[in-house]
Amino acid sequence: MDPETPSETDTLAGTTPPEQVKYPNPFIVTPTTPHTHTIILLHGRGSNGPKFGTEFITSPTSTGATLQTTLPFAKWIFPTAKKRRAVLFKRIPINQWFDIYDINNQSYREHLQVDGLQETTELVHTLIEEEIRSGIPAERIVVGGLSQGCAASLYAMLCYKRRIGGYIGMCGWLPFAKYVEGCLGISLSEGDPGDDMFETLDDEESPGFFEKSDESNGNEGERAKNPTMEAIGFLKDNISFPISDDDRLEVLQTPVFLGHGALDEKVQFRLGEQARDALKGLGFKVTWEGYDDLGHWYKIPEEIDHIKEFLTNTLGIQSSD
């Protein structure tokens, strides 16, 4: 499963010299036939690339075949997150893409997420660009992840400059979704008014954290007229990511698959639905699968079947089984 428990100690990411907090080398599964596609997937909090990757690519479809055997032309890349001190676990360092205090009440101390999201976005973009330089076009590259890896990779995908081949998310959520909702002028997380995950900011922890900067980058007027551009612009501003004046938001053409268990005890089902609706509001074509009897994991073999079908349909390829 996706353990969200502390592990061995390490240095504190963000306060130590960069050479001490480099990401471990990713776990890579090479294709068994000529390399035509690349799939980059991020593990959940407390896990690592080899553990998650080995289990995922060997999970069977309904025919008994695995994703590795049905997609022999794909190169699989499973990065491992840095050790970051987790506030929830008394600042013990664990593998996590970003720190967060409460997944299901993200507004509380939400600023904890920013540094990790910034670094992880840069990592994911670097991996994509390396594959492009090696000869794999962006439209043949798929990104995604599980749990916190879904959240981090989804944020990174939204900040990318062009369309990629596809996105796969399992039992995850969209960080800072309420600000996307606000930019789009819609409410996607309505529910019990007494159980609103979006409470007010902790003013003592983050005074003025989301106030707009006085600096202008030349395209604020256009962003204000276009809710989608404003939403993507917020996500980039939030992690101090550069915004291009000629950004045509090609990434919105990326096909998306999201799967979530209705019995998920760690990331509430409504957060998956919220991510789905936010992406649809931005204009993405989203394939959504909810699994009634599933907790915090991916459904075997049904979800593996759905992921294989999504990949073959969106990438225009044929599996070997």
Of 249, 262, 233, 307, the closest CA to residue 76 belongs to 307
User: In the chain, which ranges are E strands?
Assistant: 27-29, 37-42, 74-78, 83-86, 92-95, 141-146, 166-170, 256-261, 286-291
User: Helix, strand, or coil here: 77?
Assistant: strand
pTM of the full structure: 0.83
Q: How many domains does the chain have?
A: 1
- Does 2 reside within a domain? no
- Does 279 reside within a domain? yes
- Does 3 reside within a domain? no
144-175 pLDDT, tens digit per residue, is 999 999 999 999 999 999 999 999 999 999 99
177-235 pLDDT, tens digit per residue, is 999 999 998 654 443 333 333 232 232 233 233 333 344 444 555 555 689 999 999 99
d(CA 53, CA 59): 10
- Does 8 reside within a domain? no
Of 8-17, 81-90, 217-226, which gets the smallest average pLDDT? 8-17
d(CA 47, CA 54): 12
177-184 and 227-238 helices, crossing angle to 10°: 150
CB 297 within 8 A of CB 266: no
- Does 134 reside within a domain? yes
- Does 11 reside within a domain? no
User: Counting beta carbons within 10 angstroms of the beta carbon of residue 221, is it exposed (0 to 12), middle (13 to 18) or buried (19 or more)?
Assistant: exposed
Tokens of 314: 């969106």
- Does 321 reside within a domain? no
| Domain span including residue 245 | 18-315
Mean pLDDT on 270-289: 97
Of 63-77, 78-92, 168-182, which gets the smallest average pLDDT? 78-92
Q: The CATH number of the domain where 153 resides is what? A: 3.40.50.1820
Q: What confidence tier does 101 reach under pLDDT thresholds 50, 70, 90? A: confident
CB 40 within 8 A of CB 28: no
Tokens of 282: 């931005």
Residue 286, strand partner residues:
256
For residue 51, the one-letter residue type is K
